[in-house]
Amino acid sequence: MLDYARQRAVEVLRASRTAVLATSGPAGVQASKVSCEGLDLTVYILVPRVSDHLFNLENDPRVTLLTSAWELKGKAQVILADVSDLELNLVKEPGAEWCALVRVEPYQVHVRMETGWGNLETIDLKSY
């Protein structure tokens, strides 16, 4: 991948602190606002431990994250190991102890136009 596209995706993903998580699976289609933090080309999100999102992710790891600036399609994985080696402010948020930390590896990012409707650019990070 071109270094410009990779750097652009890193900058865009780093800018948002909340997103809407969309999953589908045995619990049906779910959409919820979650806290997020971008670290390189990975987005980490906090999902409440009682959420149907986690049930859906057990069966289908594909997710969509939406913000006013971007839309991401990727593969999610619940992190069960110690996260102290990750430099995330996200795990210090109030209520984080009641949430599961989920890593989202994007394969496509759509950067939205600042004004108006639609996407300004699409960045393909991996092919699936």
pLDDT category of residue 123 using cuts at 50, 70 and 90 = confident
Q: What is the pLDDT of residues 27-67, one digit of tens each?
A: 999 999 999 999 999 999 999 999 999 999 999 999 999 99
> Could you give the percent of the chain with pLDDT greater than 90?
62
Q: How many CA atoms lie within 13 A of 72 on its CB side?
A: 31
The model's pTM is 0.90
Residue with the bigger pLDDT between 21 and 15: it is 21
The reported pLDDT for the residue numbered 118 is 66
The fold of 3-124 is Pnp Oxidase; Chain A (2.30.110)
